[in-house]
Amino acid sequence: MKYFVVFLFSLCSTVLFAQETEEISITGTVVDEFTLLPIANANVINLNNIKGSITKQNGKFEISAKTNDTLYVSFIGYQSIKVRVSADWIKNKEDFKIKIVERSNALDELIIHRYQLTGILEVDHKLLTINENRRYNISGLPYGYEANDGSKLASSILGSFSNPADALQNAFSRRGKEINKLKKIKEDDNVRNSLATKYDRETAVALLGLSIKEIQEILQRCEYSKTFIETATDLQIIDAIKGCYEDYRFVEKKK
């Protein structure tokens, strides 16, 4: 009898552990905190497995997750929030309601265009600013590098790898999981589509675990221009960091 009790306890523990570590499909509903009305087309991203989902017209979403995963919920005009996936949510598979708050004095989505032309030649030629930023291609590398000074040569770009090396090492030496996230982002269309519409860096910060300042410093040391850093989408920012890191690794192997 004693051995049976021990066996039963071990079996229960194994089942509970499996429930906590195994990913399953969970559902939820995103609503306005005050009106409780469902919010359609909100973005839901699991920051642990880099899977994304978009809410339907009734505010419902479905996403793969396990216990203690963190979901990042965002929608234009609303305050983005992080929600921890509880054991009860996994166990009961219930439709969890997530309430988000509308931002004060929320602005409509702003799409930044490179040039907003009027069609009038006399006016448009004044609006067109000459972009002094140049991109350089380095033989053997799949990416180009952007430099503010047009006189820089590819050799100087190669020499500057000591700078991004320091920045990238400092940023990612204790963040191995974030490196894997950079690779996974390309694998989920919902995540990429969400990032492609964001300019505020909130989603990029949530995904990478880096501050806005750290992101800016990495891109600066990777020879990206101020214009790119300020106007690129979150998707372009993350792709740039990923490209720079991969190129840094390539150059390091060649040393």
Range 26-109: architecture per CATH: Sandwich (2.60)
| Residue 28 pLDDT | 96
Q: How far is CA 204 from CA 23, 181, 208, in A?
A: 24, 11, 6
- Cα separation, 119 vs 107, whole angstroms: 27
Q: What is the pLDDT along the chain (255 residues), one digit of tens a residue?
A: 555 444 444 445 444 444 556 899 999 999 999 999 999 999 999 999 999 999 999 999 999 999 999 999 999 999 999 999 999 999 887 789 999 999 874 444 444 455 555 555 555 555 554 444 544 444 444 445 454 443 343 444 445 445 555 555 665 555 556 666 777 888 899 999 999 999 999 999 999 888 899 889 888 888 899 999 999 999 999 999 888 877 777 766 766
* Structure tokens given for 55: 């809410």
Nearest Cα residue to 188 out of 60, 54, 95, 20: 54
Q: Left (φ > 0), alpha (ψ -120 to 50) or beta: where does 31 sit? A: beta
> Distance between alpha carbon 219 and the CA centroid of its chain, in Å?
15
Neighbours of 20 (CB within 10 A): 13
Can you give the residue ranges of every domain in the chain?
26-109, 121-254
Q: Report the C-alpha dihedral over residues 188, 190, 195, 196, rounded to 10 degrees.
A: 100
- Cα separation, 59 vs 195, whole angstroms: 20
Name 64's Cβ contacts closer than 8 Å, sequence gap at least 6. Answer: 23, 24, 25, 26, 46, 49, 51
pTM: 0.68
